[in-house]
Amino acid sequence: MIEGNHASGAAGDSLWQACIEQLAQELPEQQFNTWIKPLAAQVTGDFSKVTVYVANRFKLDWIRAQYSNRIMQMLENLYGQPIQLELAITPRENVARLTPLQLAREISAQSEPVDLGEEISPGPPKNRLNSALTFSTLVEGTANRMARAAAMHVAGSPGQLYNPLFIYGGVGLGKTHLMHAVGNRLLEEKPGAKVLYIHAEQFVSDVVKSYQRKTFDEFKERYHSLDLLLIDDVQFFANKDRTQEEFFNAFEALLAKKSHIVMTSDTYPKGLPDIHERLVSRFDSGLTVAIEPPELEMRVAILINKSISEGTEMPEEVAFFVAKNVRSNVRELEGALRKILAYSRFNQKEISIQLAREALRDLLSIQNRQISVENIQKTVADYYKIKVADMYSKKRPASIARPRQIAMYLAKELTQKSLPEIGELFGGRDHTTVLHAVRKIGGERQQLAELNQQLHVLEQTLKG
């Protein structure tokens, strides 16, 4: 069967994934999620032809008109040879049935289409766990230490402390991974436990279907009998009243019987818009922990671990180069790694910094265009080992004032911001302060080789 975002064979898979990752960088998120993410592909053994499967005729026409040239260009760039691209309709179409008003309302509030084709079968549900997402494949760092420790505790002693466990953080930081790890660990220790991982959107879809088919008893039986419910991205419950009510009921039933609930979201409970107060206070009643973006060393460790698990060792200097340039989240880091591996395989070249630079050129050039003052402040603060907060503070010791002036100079040099705008971003300073810094550092740069060298390193780091 063809599945979303997968291609046949490991090498075909890498090629297609690399292409998808590249599109994810290029396109606005909404566009990518709507049109590209659901695509599946099959690549012939000799890579001469890629068949992309699309759900229906309408989508097929749209993909052909809007994206097929770009997809083909990317595949050819990645593979280094001409590729024939074919678009086809997915053989077994998952088409939603006609929907009553209630269904339409719930769905119209969705930011992405609900997959109505998939369904939890009545009786004991499939647990939907991905067995590859375990604690042992999750790299630990300061960014996720607390969330990981809490999750391990829950997996070891469910129904006791930290119930519910609410994990929040930005996209691609490992929240879903951590939830699967809890489920997998619990099942290792108690194979008979009833565990379910579900994305909040699928829960919405289940509520809607139960409503439509009048099968609420089965719905309750399914959810209320679990030992561990892992529910991802609960921010999707926003504005869905009926779903929130059903989730509230499930929540109360599960807690009453000491079953455990683990939830994730993109923000902390009180920051969730359009979720009923009583639910928000339930979310916050156990333990709420954040996952932060991974720090440099953690990013390096993730790259090295993942490359080993892909059967190729990435030299440490290359991992540092990539980790320095791909900072936002682990998903992007994985995307960068896939591109490098695919590029090295297709071109039959060893992995080196030069190769990584070539493989990631699109991504790096996007970043070049987007150097922000915040990024400059963070990079300069890291480099001179001061706190980022010192960039905005009123402190005057030279050990702080000088890096701050350097950051102002780089902000003027590398961004389009005006002097007053830069002053504002440095704790509301006057534009004359910024001008003074720009002139001073610019002048000294001509005289002092050491400063010039430091600025050069900073510029290279910022530009990738």
Angle CA 353–306–80, to nearest 5: 50
Contact between 162 and 151 under an 8 Å Cβ cutoff? The reply is no
* Tokens 């939907």 belong to residue: 128
423 is in an annotated binding site: no
417 is in an annotated binding site: no
Taking the least distance from each CB to ligand ATP, the nearer of 303 and 437 is: 303
Q: How far is the CB of 285 from ligand ATP (least distance, A)?
A: 22
Residues that bind ligand ATP (CB under 6 A): 133, 138-139, 144, 169, 171-177, 302, 330-331, 334
311 is in an annotated binding site: no
Taking the least distance from each CB to ligand ATP, the nearer of 331 and 395 is: 331
Taking the C-alpha atoms of residue 401 and residue 394, their distance in angstroms, rounded to an integer, is 9
For the chain, first and last CA: distance in Å?
40
Taking the C-alpha atoms of residue 324 and residue 300, their distance in angstroms, rounded to an integer, is 9
Taking the least distance from each CB to ligand ATP, the nearer of 318 and 425 is: 318
Taking the least distance from each CB to ligand ATP, the nearer of 331 and 463 is: 331
Taking the C-alpha atoms of residue 134 and residue 189, their distance in angstroms, rounded to an integer, is 13
Taking the least distance from each CB to ligand ATP, the nearer of 21 and 390 is: 21
Helix (H) or strand (E) holding 262: strand 260-265
Taking the C-alpha atoms of residue 217 and residue 138, their distance in angstroms, rounded to an integer, is 38
Q: Output the CA torsion sign for 221, 222, 228, 233.
A: negative
Taking the least distance from each CB to ligand ATP, the nearer of 328 and 372 is: 328
Taking the least distance from each CB to ligand ATP, the nearer of 244 and 264 is: 264
* Tokens 């010039």 belong to residue: 452
Taking the least distance from each CB to ligand ATP, the nearer of 163 and 176 is: 176
176 is in an annotated binding site: yes
CA-based nearest residue to 430, from 415, 414, 410, 408: 408
Q: How far is the CB of 265 from ligand ATP (least distance, A)?
A: 9
Taking the least distance from each CB to ligand ATP, the nearer of 169 and 464 is: 169
Residues near 265 by Cβ (< 8 Å), separated by ≥ 6?
A: 166, 167, 168, 233, 234, 235, 272, 283
Q: How far is the CB of 232 from ligand ATP (least distance, A)?
A: 7
Taking the C-alpha atoms of residue 229 and residue 321, their distance in angstroms, rounded to an integer, is 39
Parallel, antiparallel or unpaired: strands 165-168 and 260-265: parallel
Task: Give 93-125 as a DSSP string.
Answer: --PPPP--HHHHHHHHT-SS----S--PPSSSP
Taking the C-alpha atoms of residue 241 and residue 249, their distance in angstroms, rounded to an integer, is 12
Taking the C-alpha atoms of residue 338 and residue 342, their distance in angstroms, rounded to an integer, is 6
Paired residues of 43 in beta bridges: 50
What is the CB neighbour count within 10 angstroms for residue 278?
10
Taking the least distance from each CB to ligand ATP, the nearer of 68 and 134 is: 134
Q: How far is the CB of 331 from ligand ATP (least distance, A)?
A: 4
The residue at minimum Cβ distance from ligand ATP is 174
Residues near 310 by Cβ (< 8 Å), separated by ≥ 6?
A: 337, 341
Q: How far is the CB of 149 from ligand ATP (least distance, A)?
A: 13
Q: How far is the CB of 185 from ligand ATP (least distance, A)?
A: 15
Q: How far is the CB of 204 from ligand ATP (least distance, A)?
A: 16
Q: How far is the CB of 110 from ligand ATP (least distance, A)?
A: 16
Angle CA 31–33–39, to nearest 5: 105
Q: How far is the CB of 292 from ligand ATP (least distance, A)?
A: 11
Distances (CA, A) of 255 to 237, 247, 259, 382, 383: 19, 12, 6, 44, 48
Q: How far is the CB of 50 from ligand ATP (least distance, A)?
A: 23
Q: Residues forming the annotated binding site for ATP?
A: 172, 174-176
Q: Residues forming the annotated binding site?
A: 172, 174-176
